[in-house]
């Protein structure tokens, strides 16, 4: 098995020979070894040339490794425009796996490209293609490189324009991209107006995703009073999923408000409001199995435990342990279970510190809540994420090469309809449209 840890020192001449080979297995081995060892290769110029030789290789696996190699090698290319053009070509590849790795490499390449205006326009083109995968990876790339965009106001407008799509998945990706880049926007006042407008959108799908995004970016919103009004309006919607998302975001918003409170009384009131909205989100989501990933289920026990220690105090320990047991039970069956349990462990440690210093005053309370907030935000990301996985063919470089079956052309080929589109986003829309209980 080839791994970074046990592979022998690279022989660049041998790697070069394999890349020039007419045998697909040797080319695959050569480009994989180049990718693994690129930083150790003495002649970076020659290595970059070898990467470019295989951009149009007929073999899918070879092109995947080329896409990965372009990302790690990009700073070393003398002709960065050529390297960038090759990345865009691979991002438009017919194969989903190649598109995946190209979009991943675009993230690391973009900061090193000189003409960022043209590079941004190249990525915009990806969002105008007919392929759903290509469209989605185009949005992903725009989101990832947004902090480096030369004109962030125009870049924001470009992302907002993508929310006009009638495709549920593209609409979903575009709105969440707005949430991701919101902290980097230059004109935050206009950006907030755009988000506010999406809460009024006649498409419930747009409102649903925007309700979630408002909770993500609440601390950056300039008009927080209006944001709360919007969320409260959405929390009264006839669609249950929209109510669940809006109540969860209201909980996040009031947690933030508590960290900004000017007095202990205000702090307690804001925290109690947050608990109320988290509870509403959790209680309604219990009915529907497709909302099992509702992050409020995970965060609520921790905020309850903090509230118990800070304000109830008597018999707090037993109650807090029950809350932690409840949170741990939520991690069962989750893809991110190990990471979520690590969050639980960190929160337990933080709570012990709270117990030790709870008499130190109001300022300490706010600090402790902010620590909790950061951990719970991380947990929210893990619970809501579908964990976009690296294609199996490159998950383990050595194993992939060693056990490749040349005649098995179907080996490791993924059906994008089966893997990429089976997201909670689709589940919720199918569920909502086919189940009258969801009203």
| Model confidence pLDDT, tens digit, residues 244-299 | 999 999 999 999 999 898 998 999 999 999 999 999 998 887 766 555 577 888 78
From the list 202, 214, 207, the residue with the least C-alpha distance to 254 is 214
pLDDT, residue 80, reads 95
Mean per-residue pLDDT for 107-114? 94
Is residue 433 predicted with pLDDT exceeding 50?
A: no
CA distance 285 to 273: 19
Q: At 241, is the pLDDT very low, low, confident or very high (cuts 50, 70, 90)? A: confident
Is residue 110 predicted with pLDDT exceeding 50?
A: yes
From the list 122, 124, 145, 139, the residue with the least C-alpha distance to 173 is 139
Mean per-residue pLDDT for 132-159? 93
Q: At 133, is the pLDDT very low, low, confident or very high (cuts 50, 70, 90)? A: confident
CA distance 169 to 336: 22
**How crowded is residue 317: how many other Cβ atoms within 10 Å of its Cβ?**
12
pLDDT, residue 397, reads 41
Q: Per-residue pLDDT tens for 365-388?
A: 777 777 767 767 766 666 555 445
SS3 (DSSP) at 158: helix
Where are the chain's structural domains?
Answer: 235-386+423-439
Is residue 327 predicted with pLDDT exceeding 70?
A: no
Give the lowest-confidence range in 128-142, 302-316, 399-413.
399-413
Mean per-residue pLDDT for 333-358? 57
Mean per-residue pLDDT for 233-243? 92
Average pLDDT taken over every residue of the chain: 80
């Amino acid at each position: 098995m080839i791994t970074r840890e046990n592979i022998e020192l690279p022989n660049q001449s041998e790697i070069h020979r394999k890349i020039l080979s007419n045998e697909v297995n040797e080319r695959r081995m050569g480009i994989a070894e180049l990718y693994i060892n690129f930083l150790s290769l003495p002649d970076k110029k020659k290595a970059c040339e070898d990467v470019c030789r295989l951009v149009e290789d007929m073999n899918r696996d070879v092109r995947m490794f080329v896409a990965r190699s372009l990302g790690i090698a990009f700073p070393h290319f003398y002709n960065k425009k050529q390297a960038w053009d090759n990345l865009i070509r691979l991002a438009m590849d017919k194969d989903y796996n190649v598109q995946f790795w190209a979009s991943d490499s675009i993230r690391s390449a973009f900061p090193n490209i000189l003409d960022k205006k043209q590079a941004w326009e190249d990525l915009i083109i990806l969002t105008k293609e007919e392929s759903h995968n290509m469209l989605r990876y185009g949005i992903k790339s725009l989101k990832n490189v947004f902090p480096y965009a030369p004109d962030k106001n125009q870049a924001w407008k470009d992302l907002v324009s993508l929310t006009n799509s009638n495709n549920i998945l593209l609409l979903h990706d575009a709105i969440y991209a707005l949430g991701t880049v919101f902290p980097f926007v230059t004109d935050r006042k206009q950006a907030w107006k755009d988000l506010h407008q999406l809460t009024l959108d006649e498409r419930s799908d747009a409102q649903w995703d925007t309700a979630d995004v408002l909770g993500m970016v609440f601390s950056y919103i300039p008009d927080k009073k209006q944001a709360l009004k919007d969320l409260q309006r959405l929390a009264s919607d006839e669609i249950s999923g929209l109510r669940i998302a809006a109540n969860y975001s209201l909980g996040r918003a009031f947690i933030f408000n508590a960290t900004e409170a000017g007095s202990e009384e205000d702090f307690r009131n804001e925290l109690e409001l947050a608990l109320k909205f988290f509870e509403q989100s959790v209680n309604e989501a219990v009915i529907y199995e497709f909302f099992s990933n509702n992050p409020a289920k995970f965060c609520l026990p921790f905020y309850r435990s903090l509230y118990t220690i800070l304000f109830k105090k008597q018999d707090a320990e037993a109650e807090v342990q029950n809350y932690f047991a409840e949170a741990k039970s939520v991690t069962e069956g989750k893809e991110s279970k190990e990471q979520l349990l690590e969050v639980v462990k960190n929160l337990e440690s933080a709570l012990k510190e709270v117990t030790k210093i709870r008499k130190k005053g109001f300022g300490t309370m706010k600090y402790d809540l902010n620590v909790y907030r950061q951990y719970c935000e991380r947990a929210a990301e893990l619970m809501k994420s579908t964990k976009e996985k690296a294609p199996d063919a490159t998950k383990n470089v050595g194993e992939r090469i060693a056990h490749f079956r040349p005649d098995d052309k179907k080996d490791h080929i993924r059906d994008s309809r089966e893997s990429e589109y089976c997201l909670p986003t689709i589940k919720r829309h199918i569920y909502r449209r086919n189940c009258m209980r969801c009203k």
